[in-house]
Structure 1
């Protein structure tokens, strides 16, 4: 489903203040504060947005409730967004947040993969940011445990904080290929392609046809380095004309998660 952002009317969700004058809709308060810290405090997309100009085109793949889009919108007003989020309740909150702040965005309520159709998606209602086609509750919980331990949280508190966070429900959702969206929407450039899709990043990249890679100026993605995924991703991007920089938040030390920023040479 692809639609323009309508007005921000949401029921059965909370509105919380993340900073003075910055209130957003959310479903999970703790999750939203953690996302805000990563995006607005640690500024994990600071380098990715350097050099963006008004009217540039951004694809936000794995947009969740829209905080990355809001960060980029606040840093560079006038950006044009295509935001992808498969979980209906989460997409509804994102739609409201982007409408509330007047963001120029098209929302695609779908998973992004290498095939168009439908997929079975494992959703963690109490931890939506880690939901995935390839969710594994034991692996995902281990990442969260390490993250909290790196934050200085003790073991008893970690057990309490993660109670119920990985109770999953399976949903069926539409899947789309990025190249199909590029053709359908008449996109002639992507100045930033942001990907945060919890182990599906290789499938997202595989859904870009050869003729569309030259349209992409930069890529910022999270990689789960399982079975050599990090090196494979770097090699894939290098073969498409990008130079890559790899980093990782200190709070994710000891996990399989890395951030890759790829800039066209």
Structure 2
């Protein structure tokens, strides 16, 4: 994974993404060489790189990233690391064709979203701080950091995340997934991975009934877990999936969790 360009995101984000990636491959999520994988909310391609390496490059990946600064790096990684296996797409997914204002945090890119803005960013910063502190306390960033007392950690992480106050607004395109499937002739989805910072239901509502049989399995990071978990679960159960919903203590601190759906 070190071969992909990670310079456009901060080192702590790299650590966070790498820690997060392992959690996607659980509860029956598996795939064989030749798989087709959709990486929705790709950032610069850390999850895609993990999939590529697991399958020794024998995979077809479609990676969606609407933020122009991140897409630029993702597209370069597609050319220089993935050997033609990854198609980088410069838009997000939603329930319909549209253009939306996205808040982009240059120093905390993984939290960029159409649902964050200057009005709620302080509450978001506190939520994210709680999650990162819990991850550190459980050894997620090394054994030395976990020995720091929790109040000190909260202060350190909170100060680090003040960079979330520095945001840019980008007008970006979003599209329904069904339109993309038609456009690219995608006739199977061995894994649909969705990490879109609160817009998960919009992504799923962009899949028409005729395309749901193409989806073999999915893993979705759900933001606003208490409000949205059941709705996400119901979408997949209605389409015939076996669903597992899981939240660990780190995710609980941030009110997020994971939904795994397998045929």
C-alpha contact (below 8 Å) 2:29/2:262 kept by paired residues:
no
What secondary structure sits across from 2:163 in the alignment? Answer: coil
Unpaired runs of 5+ residues, structure 1, are: 1-17
Assess, with a 3 A threshold, how the Cα gap between structure 1 residues 117 and 159 changes in structure 2: closer, same or farther: closer
Assess, with a 3 A threshold, how the Cα gap between structure 1 residues 85 and 222 changes in structure 2: closer, same or farther: same
- After TM superposition, the structure 1 = structure 2 runs for residues 1-265 of structure 1, keeping only pairs within 5 Å, are 22=3, 24-27=5-8, 28-39=10-21, 43-47=22-26, 50-76=29-55, 77-103=57-83, 104-135=85-116, 136-150=120-134, 151-152=136-137, 154-225=153-224, 228-264=227-263
1:48, distance to aligned residue in structure 2 (A): 6.9
1:247, distance to aligned residue in structure 2 (A): 1.7
C-alpha contact (below 8 Å) 1:65/1:93 kept by paired residues:
yes
- The 2-side partners of 1:49 and 1:89 are apart by 34
Report the structure, 1 or 2, having the larger helix content.
2
- Cα deviation, 1:67-108, whole Å, max 9, x if unaligned, reads 000001101131101100001110111122233323401111
1:26, distance to aligned residue in structure 2 (A): 2.4
1:226, distance to aligned residue in structure 2 (A): 5.4
Assess, with a 3 A threshold, how the Cα gap between structure 1 residues 249 and 110 changes in structure 2: closer, same or farther: same
1:175, distance to aligned residue in structure 2 (A): 1.0
1:23, distance to aligned residue in structure 2 (A): 5.8
| Structure 2 partner of 1:15 | none
Q: Provide the aligned length of Structure 1 versus Structure 2.
A: 242
- The 2-side partners of 1:258 and 1:70 are apart by 22
Report the structure, 1 or 2, having the larger strand content.
1
1:148, distance to aligned residue in structure 2 (A): 2.6
Assess, with a 3 A threshold, how the Cα gap between structure 1 residues 178 and 97 changes in structure 2: closer, same or farther: same
Assess, with a 3 A threshold, how the Cα gap between structure 1 residues 225 and 33 changes in structure 2: closer, same or farther: same
Q: Which runs of 4+ in 1 moved over 3 A?
A: 48-51
C-alpha contact (below 8 Å) 1:223/1:229 kept by paired residues:
yes
What secondary structure sits across from 1:54 in the alignment? Answer: coil
- Cα deviation, 1:33-78, whole Å, max 9, x if unaligned, reads 2212222xxx112227854122211110000010000001101131
| Structure 1 partner of 2:144 | none
1:144, distance to aligned residue in structure 2 (A): 1.5
- The 1-side partners of 2:11 and 2:253 are apart by 26
What secondary structure sits across from 1:223 in the alignment? Answer: strand
C-alpha contact (below 8 Å) 2:125/2:162 kept by paired residues:
no
C-alpha contact (below 8 Å) 1:58/1:191 kept by paired residues:
yes
